[in-house]
Amino acid sequence: MIDNLFTMFPGQGSQRAGMAGHLLREHPRTVGRVLARAEEATGLPLTELCTTAPDADLAPTEIAQPAIVATSLAVYEVLRQQTGFRPGAVAGHSLGEYTALIAAGVLEAGDALRLVRRRGELMAGVSRRVSGAMTALMGLAPERIEQLCAAAAPLGVVEVANYNEAGQTVVSGQSEAVAEVSRLALEAGAERAVPLKVSAPFHCSLMSAVEDEFTAELERTTFSAPRLLVISSVTGAAVRDGAHARDLLRRQLAGPVRWVDVLAAASVHGVGGYLEVGPGRVLSGFANRCVPGALVRSTNDERRINTLLRDLSPEPVAGAVAA
């Protein structure tokens, strides 16, 4: 049995067609209940979107965000119901912070999903008004990329959006300025510049346009004190209380994701390993590279979930398969 896992919830970009289909087949009662409640909270057909809809239907920001949170919650509930799983600590990459706050008892699931639905709508609105882009730059130090953003600023807004790991930094902003930073980065020795398939320039000052409206939504929502350690991707430090959690979600819109700091903080707290709960394997990949030799697990597919259920359970789980 493995325990004291630092549990990480993914953000936008981890969605894929059929991402909860195997979950619903294998655990129909638990997953069906989670998806039904998510549909009620958001007004979206999330059971269909998370199980049978094509990638194109999941692409819009206002759809992708609640669909990812609903799928992550479904995986988390399967782990809890089947094994009594309790994380040692939690964090979420941008959007994933909402799921982390649910797991820590800071937000009720329905409230979090309503916020995520509105967050996605507001972010999508920015993309309709601004020609924006995001690009992941590999192989340059973050400090050097910050300098390149300053050099490209005459062309428009461009800022660091994600400090994902030492060798991967994401920039966000107006399309022309982002393209210029990409060009300068490759000239400066970057290994790659990979445009991200997103519909809005997340985590930069362009998102400040919707901050006031979203703050009003946050103020109408109840935030409780965390029942376990939450490390915020806004600061890379612990969430102190409910009011602090609310303010961090406000700041998150236009502020960068500090995932390097999140993983550093987790290692200081002496976690027993790293577990990504939800679709995709992006965060487990970061953990593998940032914390060499650590136990790292993900829940991206049926085989991995069944293996994890076996390893988390004090008793063997029927139907579990070996890795």
DSSP 147-195: HHHHHHGGGS-EEEEEEEETTEEEEEEEHHHHHHHHHHHHHTT-SEEEE
List the chain domain ranges: 5-127+206-312, 131-200
CB 105 within 8 A of CB 224: yes
pLDDT score, position 128: 87
CB 88 within 8 A of CB 271: yes
CB 157 within 8 A of CB 174: yes
Average pLDDT for residues 70-93, to the nearest whole number?
97
How far, in Å, CA of 155 to CA of 138, rounded?
22
- From the list 175, 203, 284, 298, the catalytic residue is 203
Residue 45's pLDDT band, with cuts at 50, 70 and 90, is very high
| pLDDT tens digits along 261-306 | 999 999 998 888 999 999 999 999 999 999 999 999 999 999 999 9
Enter the tokens of residue 229: 């350690």
> b/e per residue, 215-242, with b = 16+ CB within 10 A?
eebbeeeebeebeebbbbbbbbeebeeb
pLDDT score, position 272: 87
- From the list 94, 175, 284, 298, the catalytic residue is 94
CB 133 within 8 A of CB 65: no
CATH number assigned to the domain with residue range 131-200, chosen from the 4 options 3.30.460.10, 3.40.80.10, 3.30.70.250, 3.10.450.50: 3.30.70.250
**Catalytic-residue membership of 94:** yes
Helix, strand, or coil (residue 285):
helix
Enter the tokens of residue 60: 């819009």
* Sign of the torsion angle spanned by Cα atoms 23, 26, 29, 30: negative
314 pLDDT more than 80: no
How far, in Å, CA of 28 to CA of 36, rounded?
11
Measure CA 106 to chain center.
17
Q: Which amino acid is at 79?
A: L
| pLDDT tens digits along 94-138 | 999 999 999 999 999 999 999 999 999 999 999 888 889 999 999
316 pLDDT more than 80: no
Helix, strand, coil percentages (3-state) for the chain, rounded to 5, are 50, 15, 35
5-127+206-312 is a CATH 3.20.10.10 domain: no
**Catalytic-residue membership of 203:** yes
